[in-house]
Copies of this chain bind each other. A is one copy, B any other.
Amino acid sequence: MLAGQEKMSDRVLVRIKDLTEEKADEVVWVRGRIHTSRAKGKQCFLVLRQQQFNIQALVAVGQHASKQMVKFAANINKESIVDVEGVVRKAHQKIGGCTQQDVELHVQKIYVISLAEPRLPLQLDDAVRPEVEGEEDGRATVNQDTRLDNRVIDLRTSTSQAVFCLQSGICQLFRETLIRKGFVEIQTPKIISAASEGGANVFTVSYFKSSAYLAQSPQLYKQMCICADFEKVFCVGPVFRAEDSNTHRHLTEFVGLDIEMAFNYHYHEVVDEIADTMVQIFKGLQERFQTEIQTVNKQFPCEPFKFLEPTLRLEYREGVAMLREAGVEMGDEDDLSTPNEKLLGRLVKEKYDTDFYILDKYPLAVRPFYTMPDPVNPKNSNSYDMFMRGEEILSGAQRIHDPQLLTERAQHHGIDLEKIKAYIDSFRFGAPPHAGGGIGLERVTMLYLGLHNVRQTSMFPRDPKRLTP
């Protein structure tokens, strides 16, 4: 077995994406998967795939290949991994369906590195077919459960490869930007002793002879770090919600990109930092992930994501006014329903030509007890949501940092003070004013790319009905 050999090999494998006309007539070694295979008389045409790239390879009876070898090549199961030695040849005409259209590989040797079983649970070509084409031509597409049940294969498609490379980029850009802004990365515990917000929607864990909970957010810990003088912190990690919501945008476990920051005089200092972080992510994606965006667009066509700099910030009452003008009936202190959220997104896009905006100063009544009231209008709060293509991706606020006011607000909400004692006590030894927010990674990826289900942007999604693979 090659993989277990004792010495390092000095054979150099060339990447498929690097096989261009410049390499014409060179002999190269390539490792790839058999994407498709078609035998035709004394020839066999293979398409070799490597991540998002593929090339046509020809095995033909002649100086370097016997009849047996052509037959052998033709019989290798699709998705098997092979090492191929071949000569790069200029193609007589563009090779449709391959990313490397100008060259093909004339195979001299072929070894199987890992053999796939003959029957695949789904076909990669079906899995990248746009829904519309499938419907129009009656050609097969792959439904979501089949994809998720066979995720190892579904993740091999060019679309999946692009989605998750871009998602890796979002994380990288998020942290890069914040580190540049002087933030410190923190790690917060996921197993906690008390359910932070009263105990609804929380998963219980058996913890030795006792029990514990899974953190619904890192918020308490972020705030403790602010009280411990870290000033500007962020964390990236799993967030758990035991909500029995079976929608396109809810997961029971998702990745939170969380920010918390002390400010000097006004919570808008924090809002501006978060909004700018999002803008830096959007710009970075445009610059570094153009190929990935285009690959996803082929299967899921979508308008490019638009944003303003600086970010548009509307007050909640302005949003309500726009909705009322469009015929929606709602009270000043009503929360936004999901359809109204989406409608407002469309109205904002029409008026301001942006897919990203901030809605600021939510009614105090619809926000959690720890939200700082607006000092000017006590019916409002210093809190905000951020939206992409009309869907919420971040919820945040200035937090109450005064233990006295925090106690009063908790009592007003009917919260058992005993249960949140540790939380309130965190603020007793000097706490700077601070604000923050939590971003859902899978939603950002979904909405940036204009996808329609958060399960497309979670590698191994968890929902009330899915715990595998």
Contact = CB atoms under 8 A, between A and B. Distances in A.
B51 A429 contact: no
Contact of A467 (B80, B165, B187, B212): B212
Interface in A121-167: 151-156, 160-161, 164-165, 167
* Copies of this chain, count: 2
Interface string A206-229: 111010101000000100110111
A206 B422 CA distance: 25
B152 A116 contact: no
A186 interface: yes
Interface stretch (A102-110, A168-176, A311-319, A339-347): A168-176
A203 B190 CA distance: 12
B207 A206 contact: no
A381 to B, nearest CB: 11
A153 B429 contact: yes
A5 B375 contact: yes
Interface in A267-295: 267-269
A411 interface: no
B204 A206 contact: yes
Interface in A47-87: 50-51, 79-81
Interface stretch (A7-15, A324-332, A385-393): A7-15
Nearest to A244: B208
B151 A80 contact: no
A4 B372 contact: yes
A402 interface: yes
Interface string A378-402: 0000100000000000000010011
Contacts of A175: 172, 175
Contacts of A214: 191, 205
Which residue, A161, A264, A422, A462, has most C-beta atoms of chain B within 10 A? A264
Contact of A120 (B4, B154, B268, B429): B429
B376 A268 contact: no
A114 B3 contact: no
Contacts of A80: 430
Given A193-B467, A228-B155, A464-B208, A441 B187 contact: yes
Given A190-B190, A190-B238, A468-B422, A7 B224 contact: no
A426 B121 CA distance: 12
Contacts of A21: none
B153 A228 contact: yes
A427 B244 CA distance: 33
B203 A186 contact: no
Given A372-B4, A460-B189, A205 B204 contact: yes
Nearest to A268: B8
B191 A430 contact: no
A180 to B, nearest CB: 11
Given A208-B244, A238-B237, A429 B116 contact: yes
A179 interface: yes
A242 B7 CA distance: 40
Nearest to A242: B208
Interface in A248-268: 252-253, 255, 263-268
A227 B152 contact: yes
A274 B388 CA distance: 38
25 contacts: A2-B433, A5-B375, A7-B266, A8-B268, A8-B269, A9-B264, A11-B264, A13-B264, A51-B231, A79-B429, A113-B433, A114-B432, A156-B229, A167-B187, A172-B175, A187-B441, A189-B253, A189-B460, A190-B240, A204-B205, A204-B206, A205-B206, A207-B252, A237-B238, A422-B468
Given A4-B372, A164-B186, 12 more contacts: A3-B401, A33-B430, A50-B229, A79-B429, A161-B230, A188-B459, A188-B460, A189-B238, A191-B214, A191-B252, A203-B205, A203-B206
